[in-house]
Amino acid sequence: MSMLSSIGWVATAVFACSYFAKSPARLRMVQALAALMWIAYGFLIHAMPVVVANVIVAVAAVYSSIRQREGALAE
């Protein structure tokens, strides 16, 4: 297996592990990390759909995490 393929497989494993997170904040953090890995992988294989899709996922994960944190602080 090439180093390039390894990045994709590790990103997949990290994303799959996010489903074992015990808190929503941890789930989003792990998903954002996996999305960043997929973005790197997408750039390395020159696949802009992979990059764009995972930029959306990463932004959504970070945004929803910040929004939830602000909501918790307001309560």
Q: What gap in Å lies between CA 34 and CA 42, rounded to an integer?
A: 12
Band of the pLDDT at 70, cuts 50, 70, 90? confident
Please report the pLDDT score of residue 1 as a whole number: 72
Q: What gap in Å lies between CA 64 and CA 55, rounded to an integer?
A: 14
Please report the pLDDT score of residue 69 as a whole number: 78
Cα distances (Å, whole numbers) of residue 41 to 20, 21, 58, 69, 71: 23, 24, 14, 30, 34
Percent of the chain with pLDDT over 70: 95
Please report the pLDDT score of residue 75 as a whole number: 65
Give me the phi and psi of 15, to 5 degrees please: -60, -45
Strand extents, DSSP E, the chain: none
> Whole-structure pTM over 0.75, yes or no?
yes
